[in-house]
């Protein structure tokens, strides 16, 4: 039959001599018929099949059993090109050691145990695949003309799919379906080594969820699992096809973004991730909210090999968390010092608490109608023996990272209540309560204790909470709010407009007051009026909900006017007063009435960052040293160069590969003002950085010294003293 005919052309197949080895009848090479019987038996046994093609790789023979097994009539298979019937497996296993079948055939290579997939699986097969392992030899005639392939095949579907499942398990997180640490590591490693020679960039983002543990503990592990899956889906939505997302374990996620190093875009992406992860979740009809912090490191700038990059992204993540959660940070070289600095501060803070080096200062909240003080907000200060006064912006986040915040918070509540007892009854005291304190089970007890020991009436105590208290599981949060209301204390929503700003918080929680964040006041005098409109809208909203509004951070008369015209009835800001010591408060109270006249500059000037940083200024092929006096997104003030005409094009070297092209807009003595060609972007830590950096490879190449071709055109001088900077700005 068919096999017989075909394989007769194989050498040695042909005659039919019988042979005996003693009593055993063996089949000799010459016994073609019996050899064919064996082949037939082999085919029928289903252990394997035989196939053959012509010189155009069209199938001219295939075992009938094979066709049966493929559920295809043999006529559909015969005469088809082999590579149309079978595909090389490429994506699924990640193992691409097999060259494509097509390549092997056209190269007339020997095919050895190649795994291929039957390409004609139909719809009825419901996505099931048939996997074969095939082997084959090219066949040539005597004059060396290629005749086609002769080969064998066997079905390996069961074993192969098991292998696929195993390798999936080994590479993917079974809970979220995201890549696991192993896969992310492998991937990062291979990208970085490939990109090293191609000098391409790759960004690594580390994420860690804030308050996940709390949700897990209160709502239970299945709820925690559900939450992690929802986070994974949200991350996929934001990141899309731009990169690969992995879950490293627990509530730690990682994202690899090849070919993306624009820190403007990365900052936007990080903010989007933070926002989307911070939206409330529904888990079994319950509500939960978490946050996330994001650390970013970019290769090759922040690390060339895998371990460096991971370590630096981790450092950035750590800094982001310490910066007050819900933030992103880019890695920068000073983060290493920052970590050490924080450790020292944490130690110092423990001492400060024990040795009563913490103080509360009180900033008045004034009623605009009659300039009367209605509340004092308690703001904490740390009198450091060597460093002088340290602000809460620095030490509160450190306290929040450790258990210290609860002790410090309890101390502040007690102290503020006691101090307030010495003020007129018409004046309230406001105390900041951090989210970490809010979630602590002792909060109600601590507040009760502070009220009882001081004797302060509960409605004279106002607790200032930020939106981050809503992180965690909804029910526990509702319970805490209920208990606080039962105590009779007032509640204010602080920094409104900066955080998650979900209006549902306002509906669900019993606030007496909203405090409009200072950032809106900062920009309320801008021409576009956007911030002014937002202030008006927040005041309208809180009126409608029967709440009071305090507008924070009014410094100048032009701001006061805008804010008042938008309906602000309570204002807290330097235009009335900075925070005062209790001593000063008592002294003022003794001297006179409780009203304060506004006093401050006529017009608000946008904050300039005083930086005093050494930078390089490059012009032609000369590099000058200079001092950067201040820096904004669009320009800088530079000290130390004489004779630079207005309109000169310069390049500033801000360090770490940050080169900025700029033009001189003003020059006076050794001071020049420059405007940047492209604006800087936020570095996530309140500072600024360039979108792009010059890669260390190029920097290394450029460091090869060569003699300048021209004479320097400007004169480098020592930086002038501070006061002339002010003159220059006016
Ligand atoms: P906050 O609750 O938003 O407090 C208002 C901050 O704005 C204070 O900064 C205050 O000095 C500042 N400020 C007020 N008016 C103006 C103004 O017109 N212009 C400018 N530029 N700033 C103004 P401070 O005292 O450095 O406190 C920073 C943050 O630290 C506070 O922000 C609060 O979140 C936190 N904090 C302060 N004391 C405590 C405390 O006892 N416990 C906790 N948990 N956090 C505290
Ligand atoms: Ca506050
Ligand atoms: Ca505030």
What are 625-638's pLDDT values in tens digits?
999 988 999 999 99
Residue range 516-523: mean pLDDT, rounded: 92
Q: What span, in angstroms and rounded, lies between the C-alpha atoms of 203 and 201?
A: 7
580-581 vs 641-642, strand pairing mode: unpaired
Task: Provide DSSP, 545-573.
Answer: TT-EEEEE---SHHHHHHHHHTT--EEES
Q: Sorting pLDDT into bands at 50, 70 and 90, what band is 517?
A: very high
Whole-number Cα distances in Å, 650 to 146, 616, 704, 710: 69, 10, 21, 16
Q: Which atom of ligand 1 is nearest to the CA of 555?
A: 18
**Is the CB of 411 within 6 Å of ligand 1?**
no
pLDDT score, position 28: 82
Task: Provide DSSP, 644-699.
Answer: --TT-EEEEE-STT-EEEEEEEEEETTEEEEEESS--EE-SSS-EE-S----HHHH
Whole-number Cα distances in Å, 586 to 51, 125, 424, 455, 581: 101, 85, 10, 19, 9
Q: What span, in angstroms and rounded, lies between the C-alpha atoms of 523 and 532?
A: 8
Phi, psi of 644 (to 5 degrees): -95, 115
Query: Beta-carbon neighbour count of residue 278 at 10 Å?
Result: 25
Each residue's pLDDT tens digit, 41-55: 888 887 888 999 999
Q: Which of 109-113, 212-216, 419-423 reaches the highest mean pLDDT?
A: 419-423
Residue for token pair 């503020």 = 416
What is the 474 CA–ligand 3 centroid distance (Å)?
A: 24
Which of 200-209, 217-226, 702-711 is least confident? Answer: 702-711
**The pLDDT of residue 726 is above 90:** no
Ligand nearest to the CA of 378: 1
**Is the CB of 63 within 6 Å of ligand 1?**
no
Q: What is the largest CA-CA distance in the chain?
A: 131
Question: Residue ranges of the alpha helices (H) in 279-403?
Answer: 306-322, 335-354, 392-401
| In CATH, 172-335 is 3.30.1330.60 | no
Q: What span, in angstroms and rounded, lies between the C-alpha atoms of 10 and 228?
A: 62
| Proportion of the chain above pLDDT 70, given as a percent | 91
> Prior bond to 122 cis, omega within 30?
no
Residue range 599-625: mean pLDDT, rounded: 84
Residue range 255-283: mean pLDDT, rounded: 94
Higher pLDDT, 91 or 709: 709
Residue for token pair 């403007």 = 264
Judge whether 416 and 431 are in contact, CB under 8 Å. yes
Show Cβ contacts of residue 557 under 8 Å, excluding neighbours closer than 6 positions: 575, 598, 600, 601, 602, 603
CATH, range 346-590: 3.20.20.450
CATH 3.30.450.20 domain residues, the chain: 46-163
Judge whether 132 and 156 are in contact, CB under 8 Å. yes
Residue for token pair 């006041």 = 521
Higher pLDDT, 525 or 230: 230
**The pLDDT of residue 37 is above 90:** no
Q: Which residue CA neighbors atom 45 of ligand 1 most closely? A: 432
Question: Residue ranges of the alpha helices (H) in 388-499?
Answer: 392-401, 404-420, 435-438, 443-454, 474-487
Q: Which residue CA neighbors atom 19 of ligand 1 most closely? A: 553
- The count of residues in the chain is 730
Judge whether 115 and 95 are in contact, CB under 8 Å. no
**The pLDDT of residue 237 is above 70:** yes
Report the 3 state secondary structure along 74-132: HHHHCCCEHHHHEEECCCCCCCCCCCCHHHHHHCCCCEEEEEEEECCCCHHHCCCCCEE
Query: Beta-carbon neighbour count of residue 20 at 10 Å?
Result: 9
pLDDT score, position 719: 63
Q: Sorting pLDDT into bands at 50, 70 and 90, what band is 6?
A: low
Q: What architecture is domain 609-716? A: Beta Barrel (2.40)
CATH 2.40.10 domain residues, the chain: 609-716
Judge whether 685 and 315 are in contact, CB under 8 Å. no
Q: What span, in angstroms and rounded, lies between the C-alpha atoms of 689 and 328?
A: 14
Residue range 364-372: mean pLDDT, rounded: 97
Each residue's pLDDT tens digit, 449-495: 999 999 999 999 999 999 888 888 888 899 999 999 999 999 999 99
| Mean pLDDT over each residue of the chain, to the nearest integer | 88
Ligand 1 pocket, mutate which of 323, 326, 392 (most atoms under 8 A from CB):
392
Domain 46-163 classification at class level: alpha beta
**Is the CB of 579 within 6 Å of ligand 1?**
yes
Q: What span, in angstroms and rounded, lies between the C-alpha atoms of 270 and 719?
A: 38
pLDDT score, position 96: 45
pLDDT score, position 23: 81
Provide the 3-class DSSP secondary structure of residue 398: helix
User: Which pTM was predicted?
Assistant: 0.71
Phi, psi of 252 (to 5 degrees): -105, 125
CATH 3.20.20.450 domain residues, the chain: 346-590
pLDDT score, position 15: 45
Q: Which atom of ligand 1 is nearest to the CA of 361?
A: 25
Closest of 578, 586, 593, 611 to residue 719, by C-alpha: 611
Q: What span, in angstroms and rounded, lies between the C-alpha atoms of 302 and 218?
A: 39
pLDDT score, position 430: 98
Ligand 1 pocket, mutate which of 379, 411, 523, 577 (most atoms under 8 A from CB):
379
Each residue's pLDDT tens digit, 115-153: 999 888 766 666 678 899 999 999 999 999 999 999 999
């Amino acid at each position: 039959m068919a096999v017989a005919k075909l394989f007769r052309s194989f050498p040695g197949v042909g005659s039919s001599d019988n042979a005996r080895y003693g009593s055993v009848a063996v089949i000799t090479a010459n016994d073609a018929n019996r050899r064919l019987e064996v082949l037939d038996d082999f085919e029928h046994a289903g252990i394997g099949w035989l196939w053959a093609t012509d010189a155009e790789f069209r199938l001219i023979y295939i075992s009938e059993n094979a066709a049966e097994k493929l559920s295809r009539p043999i006529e559909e298979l015969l005469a088809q090109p082999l590579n149309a019937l079978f595909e090389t497996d490429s994506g699924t296993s990640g193992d691409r050691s097999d060259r494509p079948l097509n390549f092997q055939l056209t190269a007339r290579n020997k095919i050895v145990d190649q795994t291929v997939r039957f390409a004609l699986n139909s719809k009825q097969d419901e996505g099931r695949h048939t996997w074969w392992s095939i082997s084959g030899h090219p066949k040539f005639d005597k004059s060396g003309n290629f005749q086609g392939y002769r080969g064998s095949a066997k079905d390996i579907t069961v074993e192969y799919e098991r292998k696929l499942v195993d390798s999936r398990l080994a590479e993917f997180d079974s809970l979220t379906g995201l890549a696991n640490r192993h896969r992310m590591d492998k991937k990062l490693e291979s990208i970085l080594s490939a990109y090293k020679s191609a000098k391409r960039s790759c960004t690594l983002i580390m994420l860690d969820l804030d308050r996940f543990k709390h949700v897990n503990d209160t709502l239970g592990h299945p709820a925690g699992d559900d939450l992690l899956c929802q986070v994974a889906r949200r991350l996929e939505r934001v990141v899309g096809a731009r990169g690969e997302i992995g879950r490293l374990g627990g509530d730690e996620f990682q994202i690899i973004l090849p070919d993306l190093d624009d820190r403007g875009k990365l900052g936007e992406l990080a903010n989007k991730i933070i926002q989307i992860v911070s939206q409330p979740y529904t888990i079994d009809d319950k509500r939960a909210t978490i946050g996330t912090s994001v650390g970013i490191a970019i290769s090759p700038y922040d690390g060339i090999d895998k371990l460096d990059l991971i370590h630096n992204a981790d450092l950035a993540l750590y800094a982001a968390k310490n910066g007050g959660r819900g933030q992103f940070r880019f890695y920068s070289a000073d983060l290493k010092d920052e970590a050490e600095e924080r450790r020292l501060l944490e130690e110092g803070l423990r001492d400060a608490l024990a040795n009563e080096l913490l103080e509360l200062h009180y900033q008045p909240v004034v009623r605009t109608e009659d300039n009367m003080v209605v509340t004092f907000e308690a703001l904490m200060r740390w009198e450091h023996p060597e460093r002088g006064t340290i602000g809460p912006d620095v030490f509160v986040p450190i306290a929040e990272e450790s258990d210290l915040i609860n002790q410090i918070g309890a101390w502040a509540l007690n102290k503020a209540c006691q101090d307030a007892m010495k003020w007129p009854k018409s004046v309230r005291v406001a105390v900041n309560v951090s989210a970490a304190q809010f979630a602590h089970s002792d909060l109600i007890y601590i507040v009760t204790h502070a009220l009882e020991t001081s004797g302060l009436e509960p409605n004279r105590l106002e607790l200032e909470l930020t939106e981050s208290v809503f992180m965690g599981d909804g029910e526990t949060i509702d319970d805490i709010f209920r208990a606080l209301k039962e105590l009779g204390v007032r509640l204010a929503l602080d920094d409104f407009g900066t955080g998650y700003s979900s209006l549902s918080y306002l509906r669900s929680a019993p606030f007496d007051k909203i405090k409009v964040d200072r950032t809106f006041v900062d920009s309320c005098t801008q021409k576009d009026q956007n911030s002014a409109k937002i202030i008006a809208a927040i005041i309208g909203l809180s009126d409608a909900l029967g709440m009071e509004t305090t507008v924070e951070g009014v410094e100048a008369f032009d701001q006061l006017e805008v804010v008042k015209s938008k309906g602000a009835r309570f204002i807290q800001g330097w235009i009335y007063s900075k925070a005062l010591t209790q001593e000063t408060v008592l002294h003022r109270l003794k001297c006179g009435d409780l009203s304060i006249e506004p006093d401050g500059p006529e017009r608000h000037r946008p904050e300039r960052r005083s930086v005093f940083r050494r930078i390089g200024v490059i012009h032609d092929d000369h590099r000058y040293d200079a001092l950067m006096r201040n820096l904004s997104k669009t320009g800088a003030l530079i000290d130390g160069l004489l004779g630079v005409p207005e309109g000169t094009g310069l390049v500033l070297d801000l360090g770490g590969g940050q080169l900025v092209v700029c033009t001189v807009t003003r020059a006076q003595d050794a001071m020049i003002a420059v405007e940047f060609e492209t604006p800087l972007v936020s570095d996530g830590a309140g500072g600024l950085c360039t979108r792009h950096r010059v890669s260390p490879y190029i920097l290394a190449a450029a460091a090869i010294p060569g003699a300048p071709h021209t004479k320097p055109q400007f004169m480098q001088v020592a930086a002038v003293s501070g006061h002339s900077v002010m003159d220059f700005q006016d």
